Amino acid sequence: MISLKVNGKSRQIDVAPDTPLLWALRDTLQLTGTKYGCGQALCGACTVHVDGVPTRACVTPVSAVAGRSISTIEAVDAGKVGRAVQEAWRRLDVVQCGYCQSGQIMSAVALLTTNRKPSDADIDNAMSGNLCRCATYQRIRAAIHEAARNLAKEKQA
């Protein structure tokens, strides 16, 4: 049994310790919002937060994150930054097929959490590990800027 803290809840799972967090989330805990794209930390589709840090779940064995705080796309609306990012994504109709977008959003939320006013270069740095085969990149960039503006407004208000 391995004990995981996912989206604020403690969960006991019975999987081999080398099982990547990705498959534990998807197959065991039925949290299927986190996606499989490559299994080798090459695409970012599986991005989750471990103690707030964006992490590729496909190469992270569950044994390495036991007891740490894991959050996934399913809980992203629990935070102000997460809600602002989702709202910007919807307003600009960023998504196409949508398969990469959980990972994109998790990376964007991590960026805006530590950097409230990212430049284009900051966005390139934070987001270039997240592939989008539909190439929605122009809108991803615009949506991050928009979310940043809205968060700044919220703060003033």
Residues near ligand FES (CB under 6 A) are 36-39, 41-46, 56, 58, 95-101, 132-134, 136
Partner interacting with residue 46 (select from ligand FES, other proteins, none; CB below 5-8 Å by kind): ligand FES
| Rounded least distance, CB 72 to other proteins, Å | 7
139 contacts other proteins (rule: CB under 8 A): yes
Q: Which residue has the tokens 């996934």?
A: 72
Alpha carbon 97 to its chain centroid, in Å, reads: 17
101: closest CA among 44, 145, 24, 20? 44
Question: Which residues, in sequence order, are bridge partners of residue 54?
Answer: 49
Measured CA angle at 109 (ends 131, 119), to 5 deg: 80
Residues that bind other proteins (CB under 8 A): 15-16, 19-20, 23, 26-28, 30-40, 42-43, 45, 72-74, 76-77, 86, 89-90, 93-102, 105, 123-124, 127-141
